[in-house]
Structure 1
Amino acid sequence: MLKTKLWNIEFKNPVFLAAGVMGETGSALKRMAKNGAGAVCTKSVGIEKKEGHKNPTMVEVEGGFLNAMGLPNPGVEEYILELERIKSEMKRMNVKIIGSIYGKNETEFQKVAENLIPHVDVLELNISCPHAGGGYGSSIGQDKCLSKNVVSAVKSVSDIPVIVKLTPNVTDIKEISNSVVNAGADGIVAINTLGPGMVIDIESKKPVLANKFGGMSGKAIKPIAVKNVYDICSTVEVPVIGVGGITTGYDAIEFMMAGASGVQVGTGVYYRGYDIFQKINQEIEEFLKNRDLNLKDIIGISRK
């Protein structure tokens, strides 16, 4: 009932693991796959090893979390070893791997992509992290020309689908969406974390996060994410993957009614456990069955 075909790839369900959550190692990805994810997204990886920001990197706030990880990763060559360890089992479970990559310019993105392409099913370009600094993340995604250049560079070397994760921290997300699709993007992921935001400890009189500020994720950002998905789907015709505050099947259905062809789950893992994917899939199935609907019936229905 939940089989989904995107970019000529068949996914056993449309509920995927988002980048940055349980994607640090191959074993973590495999664990999410065993718990029902239709696809798993890796930690964002770059050319070289990156330590990321110092602890504390995450703080719970009302309605979600602030995080400032700083894109920690072992570098693409080392990460490929993690993927090779789980390749056969992921294939056996029919769970696809989405490789999230980042860089500070189109040359870096292209180099990482060339290394990772043989080991993943889809590439996701992280041009949207709001706390990476150094010209990474949203420094690119807030500029339609830089975004276009990155997509064009990666598409020139890729023989697998390339999707782009966008930031909500822009004046007009429709403009950015059009730019990346015109550059050849096969799909869009929306949205990355909101902000940046800050929490100050009133006793120490200092920001809680070592980086001082971080991106907001969790339940509180869901209405913003849904609106962004709605706007993007009204503008471009490529598949859109919705992400931001999804913890239940009903949240996922809301994104689909806005136009999303699939969803990604991140901090929801904290709220409902590793088997959140199984739970969400079951809730979607029950909703559809009780109303004699299928997935295609509800995708984009709120815009009709």
Structure 2
Amino acid sequence: MSDRVRTALGPLELPSPVLTAAGCGGTGRELAPFFDLGRLGAFTTTSVTAQPRAGRPTPRVAETPSGLLTAMGMPGPGIETFLERDLPWLVEQDVRTIVSLAGHSVEEFAELAHRLRGVPGVAAVEVNVACPNVADRGRMFARHPAAAAAAIRAVRDGTRPGTPVLAKLAPDATDIVTIALACVDAGADGLTLINTMEGMAIDTGTLRPALTGVSGGLSGPALRPVAVRCVYQVHAALPHTPIIGTGGVATGLDALELILAGASAVAVGTALFHDPLAVPRVLRELEEALAARRIERLADAVGLAHRPAGFVPPQVRPHEPEKERTP
């Protein structure tokens, strides 16, 4: 990896801006046969819960045009097994690990953060506030500034100083900028934008909802324009807050689009399900795209779309498509 693509999420220095999205890389063991996990900017774990969860019954995945609907129910072995089995394996592989946390109450988020405090191998903590809040009739933390802020504050207070805390926000909010501001005010060092967007499909054969959970989270290319919009709006309001852009990243140009909108890094998710080599491929394509535009450092491209029309930094050359060859 070249210095061209080095980036940072606050105090966390990364040799690559391409990460895995939470829940899309398994425990890491599933991807390890395909590429060196050390080439990842960071590996983001499946959201870890306080207790083991079986998740929803099947069917819990449905394909849609240019996307995927999932209603998994956050299955996982729980924090005890994660700390005993999964995190030590990632440490042995020398993988920078972002631990995603999912709680159904502020107290549960605080408990999870406390369990991680001082544990080796935790590069950052990502707070999945797209969880139902049992104290608020099951309404999602991420849809309410005060609830999202309370979850972030609980994790920030319980996390070892110096460990970045990232808030992962959902687009299903009246104003995602307001939610982002509340999370940063509560102690978030960075933001992951975005989680899936709620959608639904009906099986026209059975005449019933395609998922047992009725609705599910939409991911894949269909989500990318929403992710670009959210990253752009939040970066405009919080230009000094690092953002991980995620949602439909399948190519290097997809990654570049989110970076131009204001992301300092990107996460690959759904693409991994059909192409386990998507991460190194996206990184290679991103490097080629930066070189073609004479962008010497990825940091020079972050938020570049916010510049006035016609502004081009001296070290950046607007990309010129190849002219058609005449026979």
Is TM more than 0.5 here?
yes
Which of 248, 253, 270 matches 1:250? 253
The equivalent of 2:207 in structure 1 is 205
Separation in 2, partners of 1:88, 1:55:
34
Separation in 2, partners of 1:173, 1:5:
23
- Residue 155 of structure 2 corresponds to residue 154 of structure 1: yes
- Residue 228 of structure 2 corresponds to residue 230 of structure 1: no
Which of 32, 53, 63 matches 1:60? 63
Which is greater in Rg?
Answer: 2
Segments ≥4 residues shifted beyond 4 Å: 29-33, 132-138
The equivalent of 1:125 in structure 2 is 127
Kept after mapping to 2: 8 A contact 1:127/1:138: no
Separation in 2, partners of 1:156, 1:86:
25
Kept after mapping to 1: 8 A contact 2:259/2:303: yes
Displacement of 1:203 in angstroms is 2.1
Which of 70, 75, 80 matches 2:73? 70
- Structural mapping, 1:3-152, within 5 Å: 3-23=6-26, 25-28=27-30, 30=32, 34=36, 36-80=39-83, 81-89=85-93, 91=94, 95-117=95-117, 118=119, 119-129=121-131, 139-152=140-153
Deviation larger for 208-217 or 259-268: 208-217
For these two proteins, the number of residue pairs brought into alignment is 295
3-state SS in 2 of match to 1:263: strand
Separation in 2, partners of 1:85, 1:223:
36
The residue type paired with residue 87 of structure 1 is V
Separation in 2, partners of 1:153, 1:127:
12
Kept after mapping to 2: 8 A contact 1:30/1:86: no
The equivalent of 2:168 in structure 1 is 165
Displacement of 1:138 in angstroms is 6.3
Separation in 1, partners of 2:29, 2:60:
22
Summarize deviations over 1:131-186 as a string: whole Å, max 9, x none.
x6856996111111111111111111212110000010011011001000000100
TM value normalised by structure 1: 0.92
Displacement of 1:32 in angstroms is 7.1
User: How much is the aligned-residue C-alpha RMSD, in angstroms?
Assistant: 1.8
As a proportion of its length, which structure holds more helix?
Answer: 1
The residue type paired with residue 221 of structure 2 is K
Identity %: 36
The residue type paired with residue 283 of structure 2 is N
3-state SS in 2 of match to 1:230: helix
Separation in 1, partners of 2:214, 2:264:
36
Separation in 2, partners of 1:31, 1:234:
40
Separation in 1, partners of 2:64, 2:260:
28
Structure 1 pair 133–209 and aligned structure 2 pair: CA distance change class (3 A): farther
